[in-house]
């Protein structure tokens, strides 16, 4: 397969949704109202991704480290998660969206675990857009659980070490069903990965914007896609090397 150096639309967009708290604080509102508005922005991003032909959208909703936030903020985020699942699943189903939740699900309340399972089952037949919500997720957690899972299937660690390939390990990661993200967006002005998809973002284009997540609307999504369309993706090769197959395609 020829990897085109300037693909117009990313197949997979991943987003670190940051800035809910600051959005609320700037309006003298409690931080949690920023998270509520964040859900509206999630809906807008899902719709715009579908319209633009993005196949995979992966959202960082709650990190392994977010459990350390004040208890009332954690409880509110869990309640929002439950109500979003209850309210939105029907719409996701109609829109052809397949929902998955990736993360340490055992850490959630059993009722939330059940809702997640039901939502995944209800949308399992869809394939227009694969929406993945990373919750109780960390890139390091994912790597550790992948190694555990790999060792469970091949208990002879010494033999495994001899023949282990990148593909074999990647098959045990939470996002094994998806291609690596082409574009990683982080809202809220910080320029870091914060333990998101550490393995999968090795070659992702990184887009940082000062826009706070509740303000990240369809136009902001399009601006990120427009920036992505200007990027030359080299995957470790030189500019001349990646230009050559594209030029051959034009001549053919
Ligand atoms: C970061 O903003 C955002 C979060 C920790 C939570 C993101 C959650 C949502 C958008 C709602 C739930 C999503 C789904 C898919 C149901 P922050 O609080 O760190 O903001 P700050 O940096 O301004 O404090």
191 neighbors 208 (Cβ within 8 angstroms): yes
Instruction: Enumerate residues 6+ apart whose C-beta is below 8 A from 232.
Output: 5, 6, 239, 242
* Distance in angstroms (rounded) separating the CA atoms of residues 221 and 37: 16
Task: Please determine, looking at this structure, whether the domain spanning 12-251 carries the CATH number 3.40.1180.10.
Answer: yes
Tell me which of 15, 18, 196 to substitute to probe ligand 1's pocket, judged by most ligand atoms within 8 Å of the beta carbon: 18
Helix (H, G, I), strand (E, B) or coil at 241: helix
| Residues within a 6 A CB radius of ligand 1 | 17-22, 35, 38-39, 42, 59, 61, 66, 80-81, 84, 133, 188, 213
Is 195 considered catalytic here? Answer: no
Q: Left (φ > 0), alpha (ψ -120 to 50) or beta: where does 59 sit?
A: beta
Q: What is the pLDDT along the chain (252 residues), one digit of tens a residue?
A: 445 556 689 999 999 999 999 999 999 999 999 999 999 999 999 999 999 999 999 999 999 999 999 999 999 999 999 999 999 999 999 999 999 999 999 999 999 999 999 999 999 999 999 999 999 999 999 999 999 999 999 878 899 999 999 999 999 999 999 999 999 999 999 999 999 999 999 999 999 999 999 999 999 999 999 999 999 877 788 777 777 765 565 555
pTM recorded for the entire structure: 0.91
User: CA–CA separation, 120 vs 132, rounded Å?
Assistant: 10
Q: What residues does each domain of the chain span?
A: 12-251
How much is the pLDDT for 7?
67
pLDDT of residue 242: 77
Q: What's the gap in Å between 131 CA and the centre of ligand 1?
A: 17
pLDDT of residue 1: 46
Tell me how far apart the alpha carbons of residues 230 and 91 are, in angstroms, rounded to a whole number. Answer: 33
Q: Which residues lie closer than 8 Å to 141 by C-beta, 6 or more apart?
A: 64, 103, 104
List 18, 142, 180, 182, catalytic entry:
18
Q: If DSSP states are collapsed to H, E and C, what string results for 44-102?
A: HHHHHHHHHCCCEEEEEEEEHHHHHCCHHHHHHHHHHHHHHHHHHHHHHHHCCEEEEEE
Residue 22, C-beta contacts closer than 8 angstroms, at least 6 positions apart: 34, 188, 212
What Å distances lie between residue 136 and 154, 213, 225, CA to CA?
27, 19, 28
How much is the pLDDT for 78?
A: 95
Active site residue 20: no
Helix (H) or strand (E) holding 35: helix 31-52
């Amino acid at each position: 397969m020829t990897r085109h150096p300037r693909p117009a639309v990313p197949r997979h967009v991943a987003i670190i949704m940051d800035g809910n708290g600051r959005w609320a604080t700037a309006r003298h509102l409690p931080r949690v109202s920023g998270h509520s508005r964040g859900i509206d922005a999630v809906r807008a991003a899902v719709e715009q991704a579908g319209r633009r032909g993005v196949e995979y959208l992966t959202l960082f909703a709650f990190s392994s480290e977010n459990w350390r936030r004040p208890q009332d903020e954690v409880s509110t985020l869990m309640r929002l998660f439950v109500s979003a699942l209850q309210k939105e699943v029907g719409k996701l189903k109609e829109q052809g969206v397949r929902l998955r939740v990736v993360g340490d699900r055992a850490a959630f309340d059993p009722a939330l675990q059940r809702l997640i399972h039901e939502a995944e089952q209800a949308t399992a037949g869809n394939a227009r857009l694969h929406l993945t919500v990373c919750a109780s997720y960390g890139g390091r957690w994912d790597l550790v659980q992948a190694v555990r899972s790999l060792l469970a299937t091949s208990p002879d660690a010494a033999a495994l070490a001899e023949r282990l390939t990148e593909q074999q390990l990647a098959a045990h990661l939470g996002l094994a069903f998806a291609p690596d993200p082409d574009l990683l967006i982080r809202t809220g002005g910080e320029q870091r990965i914060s333990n998101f998809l550490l393995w999968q973002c090795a070659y992702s284009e990184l887009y940082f914007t000062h826009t706070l997540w509740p303000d990240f609307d369809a136009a902001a999504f399009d601006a990120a896609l427009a920036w992505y369309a200007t990027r030359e993706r080299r995957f470790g090769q030189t500019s001349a090397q990646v230009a050559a197959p594209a030029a051959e395609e034009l001549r053919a």
